[in-house]
Amino acid sequence: MVKYKSQKSITGKFDADKVFLALIDSVKNADEKQFNQLMIEMIGPIDPSLTASVQHYDRKNQNSYQHLLKNIDYSWIKNKGYSTALRQQLTALSNQVNLTGKHQYIPAVWYEGDLPNEAPYATYAFNQEEMNLLALAKTWNAIEYLFPYKYMMDSKWKDVLVEVIPVFRKINNRTSYEKSVLFLAEAINDTHAGGFMASKNMKMINTIFNVVYYPPFDYKVGAKSIIVKKFLNDSLAKHNELKAGDQIVAINGTKVEQWLKERMVLIPASNKSVKYRELSPVYDEGYALAFGNLASQTLNVKVARGKTHLNLKLEMLDRRNRQDIAVIQKYMTQRATVERSIKGMEHIGNDITVIRAGHLFEKDFPKDKDLPQLSADLKSKKAIIFDMRAYPQGPGFFSYYLPLVLGKAPFAFARYYAVDLKDPGAFIHREGAENYMAVIKDAPKPMGELYTGKIVILTNEDTQSMGEWFSMMLRQLNKNTTVIGSQTAGADGSLKKIDLTRCLSI
């Protein structure tokens, strides 16, 4: 609270990390009276002229449309373990208003991604309890004050803190450190937190998930089965008991539903659809988490093939074997080649146009002179299909060109909130930021009448973040719109990063 609410911290006169490290041993060894005194001294004097009542900033009277206040809960201040003097000081601090328009630990511009002035500790060796607890404190409090979806988590955030303190106290190497941060990231139920699993952040993912073996086939994870899609090459297909289309329903006597549940515990995600996605092959990283933590290279699998159930042997590839690695990499290269050949925009007959967000790049954007023809071509179609099942590679097409050529004027399709610098923990509505299209003076006007043909939007668990944002916009382009597919990733909104010890928590 001192870090995010006090005037001395707001203006850069309170180094939260240094204070934490200086006090942690004293706090651990303090009795109740000593603890209260330490906290009173740390908080220091509070300026009475900056209280909410003096500044006429009463949360109870805030407009619910303009302010998101669901995350604010200072009931913990009533803890009877705190002295009367400390409770009074904490209450006064909770009611402080920031009038500076900036903050030492919050980005000055609402859409900036990095939380400022967080030391990275680049040489840390993960072997000091106080430093590990600092990493926990930095992350936990960033979520407490700066994460708008805290009120939607499966668990109460304060209960998570109690659960993870013993976990962070046991850290003694990089593996246990990353696993602990991953455990914390999973608790916030946000698919954007999965960015922590990228190789640029996590160095020990193979060890944590024990990713040694790789299946001889490409596959897709479902709720109760692992579906064999395609073998990595013809030789593997020929010499394997399993066939493309088989559904693996049990592995080594364990039903796949339970098997997957055990392997998704540390995967940050908003919903199970994303966890199944992450358990499927991650091509750019070269691992398959659904087959992590295997005791041996040979598996006994139960397979559903049509109406028949078969008990078969499955021999896995070994990621430590050069020949096996070569097979995996060759398949990935072939798959990437196929992906690159997919057209970003394609006309199907005379009546339908398909626009694939994940395959439409800036190089594919129309020239200004070609816009009238593109507008005429699209408006002549009975239907336009928007395939949003991959991350948009050319966002400018959706935010600028598409509404322009389809005759759609800028309109509000969502509400965008950012941290309220006056009252960290609260969020305030950003006027105008919800328009999908920048309203620029002298900008071209929408071309002709609004397109009224059928609009179909395809979504699945790969529809994430910007893909979800544009799906919301496309859904309201006209009244003749249908969404077909499955649950999206649940990662709408901007990404924020905080420096911890030698890696990034997202």
For 202-221, what is each residue's pLDDT tens digit?
899 999 999 999 999 999 99
Q: What percent of the chain has pLDDT over 70?
A: 97
- Write out pLDDT tens, residues 393-420: 999 999 889 999 999 988 888 888 999 9
CB 428 within 8 A of CB 404: no
Other Cβ atoms less than 10 A from the Cβ of 354: the count is 17
Strand partners, 347: 353
- Whether residue 312 is found in the same domain as residue 374: no
* Cα–Cα separations (whole angstroms), residue 342 to 86, 303, 337, 357, 361: 63, 33, 9, 11, 12
- Whether residue 330 is found in the same domain as residue 366: no
What are the structure tokens assigned to 105, written together? Answer: 């630990």
Answer with the one of 193, 218, 238 that is the final residue of a domain. Answer: 193
- Contacts for 414 with CB less than 8 Å, ≥ 6 apart: 434, 469, 472, 473
Q: If pLDDT is split at 50, 70 and 90, which confidence band does 201 have?
A: confident
CA distance 248 to 188: 31
Q: If pLDDT is split at 50, 70 and 90, which confidence band does 433 have?
A: low
CA distance 460 to 33: 55
503 in any annotated domain = no
CB 213 within 8 A of CB 318: yes
Report the pLDDT value the prediction gives residue 431, as an integer from 0 to 100.
Answer: 79
- Residue of 216, 221, 178, 168 lying closest to 199 (CA atoms): 178
Report the pLDDT value the prediction gives residue 200, as an integer from 0 to 100.
Answer: 83
Coil/strand/helix, residue 436: coil
- Whether residue 264 is found in the same domain as residue 287: yes
- Whether residue 20 is found in the same domain as residue 129: yes
CA 338 to chain CA centroid, Å, is 27
Q: What's the CATH code of the domain at 240?
A: 2.30.42.10
Least confident window among 50-64, 168-182, 329-343, 353-367: 50-64
- Contacts for 98 with CB less than 8 Å, ≥ 6 apart: 5, 7, 10, 50, 421, 422, 423, 424
Report the pLDDT value the prediction gives residue 198, as an integer from 0 to 100.
Answer: 85
Answer whether residue 91 shows pLDDT above 60. Answer: yes
504 in any annotated domain = no
Least confident window among 195-199, 310-314, 338-342: 195-199
Please give the model's pTM, rounded to 2 decimal places. Answer: 0.92
CA distance 333 to 435: 39
Sheet holding 417-419, edge to edge: 67-68, 427-429, 417-419
- Residue of 115, 164, 145, 131 lying closest to 266 (CA atoms): 164
- Whether residue 10 is found in the same domain as residue 92: yes
Report the pLDDT value the prediction gives residue 439, as an integer from 0 to 100.
Answer: 58
- Whether residue 349 is found in the same domain as residue 326: no
Coil/strand/helix, residue 219: strand
List, in sequence order, the alpha helices (H) in 30-173. Answer: 32-43, 84-94, 129-146, 157-169
What distance separates the 2 farthest-apart alpha carbons in the chain?
80
- Write out pLDDT tens, residues 250-297: 999 999 999 999 999 999 999 999 999 999 998 767 789 999 999 999
- Whether residue 161 is found in the same domain as residue 241: no
105 in any annotated domain = yes
- Write out pLDDT tens, residues 136-156: 999 999 999 999 999 999 999
- Write out pLDDT tens, residues 371-396: 999 999 999 999 999 999 999 999 99
Report the pLDDT value the prediction gives residue 505, as an integer from 0 to 100.
Answer: 47
Domain span at 29:
2-193
- Block residue for tokens 């990499």: 329
Coil/strand/helix, residue 59: helix
Q: What's the CATH code of the domain at 371?
A: 3.90.226.10
Domain count, the chain: 3
Answer whether residue 494 shows pLDDT above 50. Answer: yes
CA distance 360 to 391: 10
Other Cβ atoms less than 10 A from the Cβ of 370: the count is 12
Report the pLDDT value the prediction gives residue 87, as an integer from 0 to 100.
Answer: 97
Q: If pLDDT is split at 50, 70 and 90, which confidence band does 506 have?
A: very low
- Residue of 431, 112, 95, 40 lying closest to 103 (CA atoms): 112
Mean pLDDT for all residues in the chain: 93
- Whether residue 89 is found in the same domain as residue 125: yes
DSSP for 290-340, written as a single string: GG-S-SSSEEEEEEEETTEEEEEEEEPEETTSHHHHHHHHHHHHHHHHHHH
CA distance 64 to 499: 33
Half-sphere exposure of residue 118, counting CA atoms within 13 Å on the CB side? 26
Q: If pLDDT is split at 50, 70 and 90, which confidence band does 502 have?
A: low
282 in any annotated domain = yes
Report the pLDDT value the prediction gives residue 190, as an integer from 0 to 100.
Answer: 95
CB 407 within 8 A of CB 419: no
CA distance 421 to 418: 9
438 in any annotated domain = no
309 in any annotated domain = yes
- Whether residue 78 is found in the same domain as residue 180: yes
Residue 162, Cβ density class (10 Å: 0-12 exposed, 13-18 middle, ≥19 buried) = exposed
- Whether residue 326 is found in the same domain as residue 371: no
Report the pLDDT value the prediction gives residue 340, as an integer from 0 to 100.
Answer: 94
Answer whether residue 330 shows pLDDT above 70. Answer: yes
- Write out pLDDT tens, residues 97-119: 999 999 999 998 888 889 999 99
Answer with the one of 339, 357, 388 that is the final residue of a domain. Answer: 339
CB 448 within 8 A of CB 379: yes
307 in any annotated domain = yes
- Whether residue 271 is found in the same domain as residue 360: no
- Residue of 452, 218, 441, 443 lying closest to 335 (CA atoms): 218
- Block residue for tokens 């040489």: 123
Residue 115 is classified by DSSP as P
Answer with the one of 304, 322, 339 that is the final residue of a domain. Answer: 339
Provide the b/e sequence for 300-320 (b: ≥16 CB within 10 Å).
ebbbbeeeeeeebebbbbebe
What are the structure tokens assigned to 116, written together? Answer: 């400022």
- Whether residue 160 is found in the same domain as residue 256: no
396 in any annotated domain = yes
Report the pLDDT value the prediction gives residue 117, as an integer from 0 to 100.
Answer: 96
Q: How many helices (H) and strands (E) does the chain have?
A: 17, 18
